[in-house]
Amino acid sequence: MTNNTSHHTSDTPPAPSRADTQPAPSALLRCSIYTLLIVLVVGTVVGRIWKVESKSVGPNKSKTPFLSANDRSRWCTVRALVNDGTYVIDKMTHGKDPNWKTIDQVKHRGPDGREHFYSSKPPLLPTLLAGEYWVIRQLTGADIVQFPFYVGRIMLLVTNVLPLLLYFVVLARLIEQRGKTDWGRIYVMAAATFGTFLTTTAVTINNHLPAAICVLLAMAISLPIWHKNQRSLFRFFAAGLLAGFAAANELPALSFVALLGVGLFWKSPKGAMLGYLPAVVAVAAAFFGTNYIAHQSWKPPYAHRNDGPVIFSMSTAQAAPLDQQQIPGPLGDGLTGPAHPLSPDATVKVRIPGQRWVILDPRNGMRYAVQLAGDQVEVRHWDHWYDYEKSYWHADRRRGVDRGEVSQSVYLLHMLVGHHGVFSLTPIWLLSLLGMGILMLQRKHRAPGLVVLVGTLTVVCVVFYVLRPLQDRNYGGVCCGFRWLFWLIPLWLLLLVPAADAISGKRIWRTVALVLLLVSVASAAYASLNPWSHPWIYDYLQTVLVTPP
């Protein structure tokens, strides 16, 4: 009899059974551990946010959830935009509530022709936060001045915790895909959740956390383009938006935008040109557009730290009376010789005796910079927004690390292995160096793209900050670590995966890795209630051994 029942021939594989399609028990266990770690760290961050408060200030010992001049600068813009419809923060600067005062501000002429105070932070992020505050105010009626804790903490949860939750979920998936061993994968996830400064910074508004999250998400979207030839324009566009927003928050991340763009262009010129590039341009337009609306300048505030073009010059002999004009005093005939636009009632204030002055002209409300240049004294357009009366950023007023590190070699030392050191505070990154070496030695992945990308970005950023002028060599100010490199953390975590896998079967190396993780977790937890505080190594050196510069 002929059997009509269908059957599989020898060259036709059988259909997978239900059991074959189920995840392996070890994979289920790993996912459960990832979930537990994410729940623990997110719950910890939420609890810290609900407890976050500034020190008591002012005669009434009032408090807010605004922890330092850095985040208050952005909060001032948020309040001004929604409550007053302007980027001007004069009300906070001259107000009676010290909880709103900040040193991270600049002063320049506004659209009304008068000088005003503004936040020194690029306005794109505060503008987006202002939109969030506006929604909260419309829905609840709560004003940030009257209810700073209610509004501030809700915004911290929405702005920091929800994106951080997405960050950890996506990172867990990448670790699961790229890892090879149970121990290695779990170690990297534990390091990501508790051993980096990203969770430390999650209790305050800052630019570093969103930049790092955007870098990871851009990588997660771009890796399938590179490895699996998934070339939808939406994927390219999303990668461009995320990379562009990372650069809008961290200027050196422009190198990430460029390198990622080159890689994507290599895989698909069409996708890069029609998807990635337009998205980056859109973010750039938003960055410069909000900056122009806020400051009537395409350059961000931190680029206005030098005097403008020369209007006219005169001999030092002609300028001799300048130092004699004490604050204030009419210039009178002090400026003779070349024609100049100054009125007879213009006054001069000494900035640096014999070197630099400022001229105030009441006729037009303008101020001009005057500085010594060889045997000439130059009168320039005023473009030094950080130079105003009682500015903290005058050389003789800066304190602690804000004075700047004179020696570039010392700065590099403390940046890497010193009191703000990447490897001394979070030594898990030593294993990331090992991971780079492992990937480089793999025969089928000679000089893999990830190693080239992360290695180049890290070196470029380190060199960039070492070569900054003295006033910028300040380790990021008062902060839990060298915050200007925090946006690289997700990339370093990806390099940690092969190293953790390599040492997973070696007891001694696992012990070393756990010690490195212990130190990293302790460093991240040391400033968990206020990331705007010095690292533990800096505090130890300051109080026990020597006072760091």
The tens digit of pLDDT for each residue in 493-503 reads 999 999 999 99
What pLDDT score was predicted for residue 309?
85
Query: How far is Cα 505 from Cα 511, in angstroms, rounded to an integer?
Result: 11
Domain extent, residue 121, equals 69-150
Among 129, 150, 171, identify where a domain stops. Answer: 150
User: Residue 491's closest CA among 524, 459, 446, 513?
Assistant: 459
Contacts of 186 (CB under 8 A, 6+ apart): 30, 33, 34
| Residue 174 Cα distances to 76, 237, 281, 455, 479, angstroms | 38, 21, 28, 19, 29
What pLDDT score was predicted for residue 503?
96
Q: Where are the beta strands (DSSP E) in 304-355?
A: 310-315, 347-352
Residue with the bigger pLDDT between 289 and 316: it is 289
Residue whose entry in the numeric block shows the structure tokens 């700073």: 148
Instruction: Specify whether the CB–CB gap between 206 and 70 falls below 8 A.
Output: yes
In a domain, 132, yes or no: yes
Among 130, 150, 170, identify where a domain stops. Answer: 150
Q: How many domains does the chain have?
A: 2
What pLDDT score was predicted for residue 62?
73
What pLDDT score was predicted for residue 393?
86
Q: How far is C-alpha 39 from the geometric centre of its chain's CA atoms?
A: 25
In a domain, 10, yes or no: no
Among 338, 362, 381, identify where a domain stops. Answer: 381
| Residue 535 Cα distances to 13, 382, 422, 456, 520, angstroms | 60, 38, 11, 27, 12
Structure tokens at 261: 């763009």
The answer to whether residue 460 scores a pLDDT higher than 90 is yes
What are the pLDDT digits (tens) for 89-107? 998 887 777 889 899 999 9
| Residue 496 Cα distances to 156, 192, 391, 459, 523, angstroms | 29, 10, 43, 17, 18
The answer to whether residue 141 scores a pLDDT higher than 70 is yes
In a domain, 281, yes or no: no
In a domain, 295, yes or no: no
pTM of the complete model? 0.89
Query: How far is Cα 321 from Cα 318, in angstroms, rounded to an integer?
Result: 7
What pLDDT score was predicted for residue 57?
65
In a domain, 256, yes or no: no
The answer to whether residue 340 scores a pLDDT higher than 90 is no
In a domain, 400, yes or no: no
In a domain, 125, yes or no: yes
- Band of residue 1 on the pLDDT scale cut at 50, 70, 90: very low
Radius of gyration of the chain (CA): 28
In a domain, 336, yes or no: yes
What pLDDT score was predicted for residue 440?
86
What are the pLDDT digits (tens) for 32-83? 999 999 999 999 999 999 998 887 665 566 788 999 999 999 999 999 999 9
